[in-house]
Amino acid sequence: MCGRYVSTRSPEDLVQLFQVTDWRAEEALAPNWNVAPTNNVWAVLERMPHDQTDATAVERELRPLRWGLVPSWAKDTKIGARMINARVETVHEKPAYRRAFAKHRCLLPADG
């Protein structure tokens, strides 16, 4: 993936497109035609409700997140800007990406 992308869809559009069940209307991000690492972006996450034990009761959530990966061992959050690209062939092996790849995935909707 390149280091920049376009994100102009409204949260209402994203809620409908991705069948989101949890979204706070008061959260807002302006359209961005030059999204860079470390910018806040819309993310679609699938999470288990806190009061549920049934694995099939997954909720889809839309919320703003900071784009980039900050590994647990990092001393500075600025490293997240350099950690946006991973090779699909080795992402499950590299220490910096391994845990996030296995347990903390999300979808970042992009228009271009």
Here the CATH number for the domain that contains residue 66 is 3.90.1680.10
For residue 64, tell me if it sits in a domain.
Answer: yes
pLDDT at site 55: 63
Q: Say whether 38 sits in a helix, a strand or coil.
A: coil
Residues forming a β-bridge with 61: 22, 45
pLDDT digits (tens, 9 = 90+) for 77-105: 777 667 777 788 988 888 888 888 888 88
Q: pTM for this structure?
A: 0.79
Determine the distance from the C-alpha atom of residue 5 to the mean position of all C-alpha atoms in its chain, rounded to a whole number.
14
Give me the domain span that covers residue 23. Answer: 5-103
Q: Are the beta carbons of 35 and 6 closer than 8 angstroms? A: yes
CA distance 112 to 109: 9
pLDDT digits (tens, 9 = 90+) for 15-58: 999 999 888 877 789 999 999 888 899 999 988 776 666 666 77
CA distance 65 to 69: 11
pLDDT at site 1: 53
For residue 111, tell me if it sits in a domain.
Answer: no
Among 36-40, 55-59, 60-64, 66-70, the least confident range: 55-59
